[in-house]
Amino acid sequence: MNRFYPHPVIALEGWPFIIAGLIVSLLLSFCCGWWSLPFWLFTLFAVQFFRDPARDIPQDPDAVLCPADGRIVVVERATDPFRQTEALKISVFMNVFNVHSQRAPVDGTVTRVEYFRGKFLNAALDKASTENERNAVLATTRSGRDITFVQVAGLVARRVLCYVQAGEPIVRGERYGFIRFGSRVDVYLPLDAQATVSIGDKVKASETILARLPLTAPAAETPAAPASAPAATTAAMPAEATAAQTDEQQIVLAAAERAQAAAETVMKQE
């Protein structure tokens, strides 16, 4: 297990909210007393929302780690809309009380990053994957397997942040993005990946293993040998039958010619 995590315990994205909440809370405490309580609650909420703790990171070569804290809402075969291929889809829904930093699920290289503007539907809905604002990271593992992981904005989330670009290396467990205030992350894996989670499971970023992905793709099936020999045999059978019929006809004609010749001989003798 590796616990190295070069980021502060409170994500930098949260400091503006925390500092603003703290200042307002202090000012209202001096001026209004207990009326400042809602602002103190907001400040505490911001601290817990933007927490970004270090985690134990499994180093199994075939492990695909969970990119976010939350609950599993989808484990199914689906079409990867960014690669247009069949894939194993696993989705993690984050509520406002989960850690909202996203972490790389594998070691590899980013091949493409695509951002799409969209709606802000409830992130727990299936159609949020295709209709909501989202940011897709397409990556290739060190062993050459292609995976896709997508940040999807939610009903409250209005900002998707991604810090990686095409061509950059990623290391499992490192932070690559952040989504503010409730969202989901979709992961698309090759079909030979084996899911290790089920719908309803609570998961933690970098600690939970979502799936096992073989280091190499399965060998393509050897195509069946063309059935040329049977076809040739089948084609030869009518030819042989035709030849046999021709021989019989020749024998019958020869016999008829001999009988005719014998009849003519008898008539001449008479």
Q: Domain map of the chain by residue range? A: 12-50, 63-212
**Residue 186: closest CA among 57, 75, 267:** 75
The per-residue pLDDT for 269 is 53
Residues paired with 64 in a beta bridge: 211
Distance of CA 105 to the CA centre of its chain: 12
Q: Which superfamily is assigned to 63-212 in CATH?
A: Glucose Permease (Domain IIA) (2.70.70.10)
**pLDDT tens digits in sequence order for the chain, 270 residues long:** 555 556 677 777 778 888 998 999 999 888 888 888 988 998 888 887 778 888 889 989 999 999 999 999 999 999 999 999 999 999 999 888 888 889 999 999 999 999 888 676 656 566 667 667 889 999 999 999 999 999 987 666 567 888 999 999 999 999 898 887 668 899 999 999 999 999 999 999 999 999 999 988 887 644 444 444 444 444 444 444 445 455 555 655 565 566 566 555 545 555
Taking residue 31's Cβ as centre, other Cβ atoms within 10 Å add up to 9
Percent of the chain predicted with pLDDT > 70: 71
Which active-site residues does the annotation give? 183
The per-residue pLDDT for 246 is 54
Q: Is 181 helix (H, G, I), strand (E, B) or coil?
A: coil
Taking residue 180's Cβ as centre, other Cβ atoms within 10 Å add up to 20
The rounded distance, in Å, linking the Cα atoms of 69 and 98 is: 6
Instruction: Quickly tell me which residue has 């009518």 as its tokens.
Output: 238
Q: Which two tokens stand for residue 125?
A: 């809905």
Q: Is 80 helix (H, G, I), strand (E, B) or coil?
A: strand
Q: Which two tokens stand for residue 219?
A: 């060998």
The per-residue pLDDT for 11 is 77
Contact 67, 105 (CB under 8 A): yes
Contact 98, 41 (CB under 8 A): no
Contact 177, 162 (CB under 8 A): yes
Contact 21, 175 (CB under 8 A): no
